[in-house]
Amino acid sequence: MMTDKHKHWMQLALAEAIKGLGNTHPNPTVGAVIVRDGQVLGKGFTQPVGGNHAEVEALQVAGDVAGATLYVTLEPCASQGRTPACTSAIIPSGIQTVVYASSDPNPQMAGGAQVLKDAGIEVIAGVCKEDADMLNRPFFHYIQHKMPWVIAKAAISLDGKMATRTLHSQWISGAESRKHAHGVRALCDAIVVGVGTLIHDNPSLTVRDAVIIGQPPLRVMMGKHAPKPFADCKLLSDEAPSRFYIIHDNDDALAWRELGMDVVLVENYEAAFQHLAADGCLQVLLEGGGKLHAACLEHCISNELLLYQAPLLIGGVDAMSFWHGTGVETMQDALHIANIQRQILGDDMLIRGDIVYPA
Ligand SMILES: NC(=O)c1ccc[n+]([C@@H]2O[C@H](COP(=O)([O-])OP(=O)(O)OC[C@H]3O[C@@H](n4cnc5c(N)ncnc54)[C@H](OP(=O)(O)O)[C@@H]3O)[C@@H](O)[C@H]2O)c1
């Protein structure tokens, strides 16, 4: 009975957290609810970087919280970061019990539960932990690997092609799929394409048909060299920030810098992803093309798959495949997809799941 009550209020805290999705990185996405005698006194969610954490938002709304219970989706932080430690707001407030879902994996911020217990507050951990962990997958992944959570997204035909042999690809998926993809873009911190896609498609990589709360995602191109500059490059628009990651500098890179592009020199492509994560881009949408997807699968960089499969056959040994690289040798080596979700979008099928690499 007690557990059901805690789950009920934690679900409300999770619903609060969802309001901040896509807008809190490099901080985790957190929600909080303060309850006394079955009444909600206050609720809130973590604000964009530098703003209040969820607990403080909820406390500010609630006013007098003597004897109340705080439900929060992540263990309250115990150290000063960009904002003061949440434990130092909770302890003097009169909150009697703190119930949280996920433990904080960040060694610099962890230990909040113990600090609260030492101050005489009752602490209950792990309520709705699985749901809360899912919300913060990119944050947890970054703390563990110093890499962003990478979603490999593509529109493909039934025979797995991303473009025809003439590199024509617009459009493979239908309007409903494209609208869905814009919703996913809005929740990501950066959208990445390879130099091939930049040259062939001149994509705008903006969010359309979906609401962005806060900053639009960073638009990113990766290539060994910067391509020859072209002034009508849509990434030069001021709708969203853009960046090129290149491995070798040259005059073309200089010309892009003069056009206003942020050009970052890295040692290799993995370093580009590490740089993105260190810069707060914890959830990255990889939008191709086939060579970039191949490299990111073969180097275990992509974490999640998002395929919009249209009822089309494109064919051709030279047509661009989703995994346009070496691939695996035997069926034993094939990558498996876990936690598969399927959804019909118009005539297309969305297939989403987690990429499982061999141990
Ligand atoms: N259907 C879809 O969803 C979709 C989406 C995007 C593009 N496309 C189509 O795909 C075609 C372009 O495909 P593409 O394969 O040529 O383009 P691409 O994958 O965008 O670019 C390939 C280049 O990206 C560079 N690159 C960037 N990051 C890399 C990494 N981590 N590892 C290795 N290389 C990396 C490499 O450049 P260097 O050689 O300089 O190292 C590579 O040659 C176009 O026809 C486009 O329309 C389709």
pLDDT digits (tens, 9 = 90+) for 307-336: 999 999 999 999 999 999 999 999 999 999
Average pLDDT on 141-149 reads 96
Whether residue 289 has its Cβ less than 6 Å from ligand 1: yes
Average pLDDT on 35-58 reads 95
**φ and ψ at 144, to 5 degrees?**
-80, -40
Query: What pLDDT shows up at residue 84?
Result: 87
Query: What pLDDT shows up at residue 326?
Result: 95
Three-state DSSP class for residue 111: coil
For ligand 1, atom 1: residue with the closest CA: 162
**Greater confidence, 357 or 213?**
357
User: Is residue 213's pLDDT more than 80?
Assistant: no
% residues pLDDT > 70 (the chain): 99
Q: How far is the CA of 293 from the centre of ligand 1 (A)?
A: 7
Query: What pLDDT shows up at residue 214?
Result: 78
Confidence of residue 2 (pLDDT cuts 50, 70, 90): low
> Any idea which residue has 């661009």 for tokens?
320
User: Is residue 143's pLDDT more than 70?
Assistant: yes
Residue pLDDT, tens place only, 76-119: 998 887 888 999 999 999 999 999 999 988 877 778 999 999 99
Pair of tokens at residue 301: 């960089």
User: Is residue 232's pLDDT more than 80?
Assistant: yes
Query: What pLDDT shows up at residue 111?
Result: 87
Whether residue 292 has its Cβ less than 6 Å from ligand 1: yes
Whether residue 179 has its Cβ less than 6 Å from ligand 1: no
| Residues 255-262: contacts with CB under 8 Å, at least 24 apart | 255/226, 255/229, 256/226, 256/229, 259/229, 259/231, 259/233, 260/236, 261/235, 261/236
Cα–Cα distance measured from residue 9 to residue 295, given in angstroms and rounded to the nearest whole number:
44
Q: How far is the CA of 320 from the centre of ligand 1 (A)?
A: 10
> Any idea which residue has 């009822």 for tokens?
311
Average pLDDT on 169-197 reads 97
**Taking the mean position of all CA atoms in its chain, how far away is CA 151?**
8
Whether residue 95 has its Cβ less than 6 Å from ligand 1: no
Whether residue 309 has its Cβ less than 6 Å from ligand 1: no
Average pLDDT on 270-285 reads 97
**Helix pair 2-18, 54-62: axis angle to 10 deg:** 100
User: Is residue 349's pLDDT more than 80?
Assistant: yes
Whether residue 291 has its Cβ less than 6 Å from ligand 1: yes
Mutate which of 147, 180, 195 for ligand 1? The one with the most ligand atoms within 8 Å of its CB, which is 195
Query: What pLDDT shows up at residue 50?
Result: 86
Query: In the predicted model, what is the mean pLDDT of the chain?
Result: 95
Q: How far is the CA of 223 from the centre of ligand 1 (A)?
A: 9
Query: What pLDDT shows up at residue 211?
Result: 85
- C-beta neighbour count of 26 within 10 angstroms: 17
Cα–Cα distance measured from residue 23 to residue 30, given in angstroms and rounded to the nearest whole number:
11
Cα–Cα distance measured from residue 319 to residue 280, given in angstroms and rounded to the nearest whole number:
36
3-state SS, one letter per residue, for 299-339:
CCCCCEEEEEECCCCCCCCCCCECCCCCCCCCHHHCCEEEE
For ligand 1, atom 9: residue with the closest CA: 289
Cα–Cα distance measured from residue 251 to residue 226, given in angstroms and rounded to the nearest whole number:
9
Three-state DSSP class for residue 270: helix
User: Is residue 70's pLDDT more than 90?
Assistant: yes
Q: Return the active site residues.
A: 55
Average pLDDT on 214-234 reads 95
